[in-house]
């Protein structure tokens, strides 16, 4: 029994270390609701929902990383729509995506998805754009730079 407890403890520590290594924070419904509240964004902010197996997600992430480098006041937040234990930071690292990184925590994925966007039906990529003045736009699919800049209240480059 003692060895089983030790094995479980070591496994949990390994899982926690793996999640921390990618810099992901486990998302729950309360933090998801705060994350998508327009009142919580005093600066232009992109919340990008993505998955490791979504090709178009990486297209958006590359654009958003470029925008974040070009616009000093732009905040970028990524949410991996998979469990924090399985979230892989490699695509974010490869694209040099800055900003806070979240992944689904222990609550039901459907509940987390609803907390992020009640109108979202699970299609990826999904992007929430906040202009920092209370405005919010939700888009599915590949986002153009012009559409992102317009929704964020940023001028042309």
Q: What is the CATH number of the domain that holds 69?
A: 3.40.30.10
Tell me if 157 is assigned to some domain: no
Per-residue pLDDT at 20 exceeds 60: no
Tell me if 123 is assigned to some domain: yes
With beta carbons less than 8 A apart as the criterion, state whether 56 and 134 touch: no
pLDDT digits (tens, 9 = 90+) for 63-92: 999 999 999 999 999 999 999 999 999 999
Q: What percent of the chain has pLDDT over 70?
A: 87
Residue whose entry in the numeric block shows the structure tokens 């234990």: 85
**pLDDT band with cut points at 50, 70 and 90 for residue 27:** very high
Number of domains within the chain: 1
pTM score = 0.86
């Amino acid at each position: 029994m003692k060895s089983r407890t030790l094995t479980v403890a070591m496994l949990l520590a390994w899982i926690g270390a793996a999640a921390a290594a990618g810099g992901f924070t486990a998302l729950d419904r309360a933090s998801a609701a705060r994350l998508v509240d327009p009142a919580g964004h005093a600066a232009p902010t992109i919340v990008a929902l993505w998955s490791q197996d979504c090709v178009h997600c990486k297209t958006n992430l590359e654009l958003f990383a470029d925008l974040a480098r070009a616009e000093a006041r732009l905040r970028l937040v990524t949410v991996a729509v998979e469990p924090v234990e399985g979230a892989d930071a490699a695509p974010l690292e490869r694209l040099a995506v800055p900003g806070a990184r979240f992944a689904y925590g222990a609550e039901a994925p459907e509940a987390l998805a609803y907390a992020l966007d009640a109108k979202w039906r699970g299609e990826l990529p999904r992007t929430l754009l906040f202009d920092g003045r209370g405005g919010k736009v939700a888009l599915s699919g590949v986002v153009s730079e012009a559409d992102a800049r317009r929704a964020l209240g940023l001028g042309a480059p």
